[in-house]
Amino acid sequence: MKSITVENLLGNHKSYTQVTGDEKALKRVIQTGEINRPGFELAGFFKHSDFRRIIVFGDKEMAFIAEMSEERQKEIFPCLINEEVPCIVICKGHECPKVLKDVANERNFPIFQTELITGAVSSELMNTLEEKLAKDTLMHGVFLNIHGKGVIIKGDSGIGKSEIALELVKRGHLLVADDAVELYRVGQKIVGKAPAVLANLLEIRGIGVIDVSKMFGISAILDKNDVDLIIQLERWVPSREYTRVGVEENDISEDVLGIKIPKIVVPVSSGRSMSVIIEAAVMNMRLRDVGIDSSKEFVERILKNIDHNKQES
DSSP codes, 141-153? SEEEEETTEEEEE
Backbone angles phi, psi at 117, to 5 degrees: -70, 160
Query: Is 162 a known ligand-binding residue?
Result: yes
Q: What is the dihedral of CA 243, 289, 161, 159, to 10 degrees?
A: -10
Query: Is 152 a known ligand-binding residue?
Result: no
Query: Is 161 a known ligand-binding residue?
Result: yes
d(CA 193, CA 69): 51
d(CA 144, CA 151): 5
Query: Is 155 a known ligand-binding residue?
Result: yes
Query: Is 60 a known ligand-binding residue?
Result: no
d(CA 265, CA 159): 14
Residue 140 is among the residues annotated as catalytic for this protein: yes
Query: Is 273 a known ligand-binding residue?
Result: no
d(CA 288, CA 247): 13
Query: Is 208 a known ligand-binding residue?
Result: no
Alpha-helical (H) ranges within the chain are 6, 39-42, 59-67, 70-80, 98-107, 118-132, 161-170, 212-216, 274-289, 294-312
Catalytic pick among 154, 173, 178, 179: 179
d(CA 132, CA 7): 14
Residue 179 is among the residues annotated as catalytic for this protein: yes
Catalytic pick among 161, 173, 193, 224: 161
Query: Is 159 a known ligand-binding residue?
Result: yes
Query: Is 203 a known ligand-binding residue?
Result: yes
Catalytic pick among 24, 98, 135, 140: 140
Residue 59 is among the residues annotated as catalytic for this protein: no
The residues assigned a catalytic role are 140, 161, 179
Q: Binding site for ATP, residues?
A: 155-162
Q: Binding site for Mg(2+), residues?
A: 162, 203
Q: Binding site, residues?
A: 155-162, 203
